[in-house]
């Protein structure tokens, strides 16, 4: 791997893998995650694990599913929660059938990506893994067609 630059020459991440059987397909560790790793190792001498939300999500790109979940109204988007880990803190707040629409004010697209930086789209869990374990999150959900936060 090595540094990944945006069009202005700013480092936005570290390349770490690619697909041999595909052209121009690679994976990037975003800079906020790299910085969290370096900060944690410098202060604690080790790095335990990245935080997790504890939910399993399903894409909502299917038009029929979007209509059923009332996502076609007001430009709503998000991911359908299809499973919640019972021992995670979030298990008291969300349930299967909810739609996760935003994390910390960042819109989650129907394909599960978020606008991370400089037009770079990353999987939604980037918003979780860039934070230290134990940090608070603001979640916006859609439950039975009604927004909740």
User: Which residues pair with residue 117 across a beta bridge?
Assistant: 120
**CB-CB contact of 57 with 37 (8 Å):** no
Distance CA 32, CA 39 (A): 10
- Taking all residues of the chain, what is their mean pLDDT, rounded to a whole number? 86
Q: Which domains does the chain have, with CATH numbers?
A: 1-48 (no CATH), 50-149 (2.30.42.10)
- 87 pLDDT band (50/70/90 cuts)? confident
**CB-CB contact of 51 with 128 (8 Å):** yes
Residue 117: pLDDT above 80? no
Residue 57: pLDDT above 70? yes
The string of pLDDT tens digits covering residues 32-46 is 888 888 888 888 888
Distance CA 114, CA 14 (A): 18
Distance CA 144, CA 21 (A): 42
Q: Which of 119, 55, 123, 61 is nearest to 84 (CA)?
A: 55
- Read off the pTM: 0.73
3-state secondary structure of 92: helix
Distance CA 52, CA 34 (A): 16
């Amino acid at each position: 791997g090595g540094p990944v630059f945006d069009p202005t020459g700013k480092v936005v991440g570290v390349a770490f893998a690619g697909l041999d059987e595909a052209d121009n397909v690679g994976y990037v560790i975003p800079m906020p995650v790299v910085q969290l790793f370096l900060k944690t190792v410098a202060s604690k001498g080790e790095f335990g694990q990245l935080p997790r939300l504890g939910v399993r999500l399903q894409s909502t790109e299917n038009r029929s599913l979007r209509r059923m979940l009332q996502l076609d109204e007001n430009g709503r988007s998000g991911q359908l929660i299809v499973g919640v880990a019972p021992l995670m803190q979030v298990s008291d707040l969300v349930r299967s059938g909810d739609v996760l629409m935003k994390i910390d004010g960042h819109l989650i697209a129907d394909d599960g990506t978020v606008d991370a930086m400089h037009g770079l789209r990353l999987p939604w869990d980037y918003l979780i893994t860039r934070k230290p374990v134990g940090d608070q999150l603001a979640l916006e959900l859609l439950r039975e067609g009604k927004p909740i936060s």
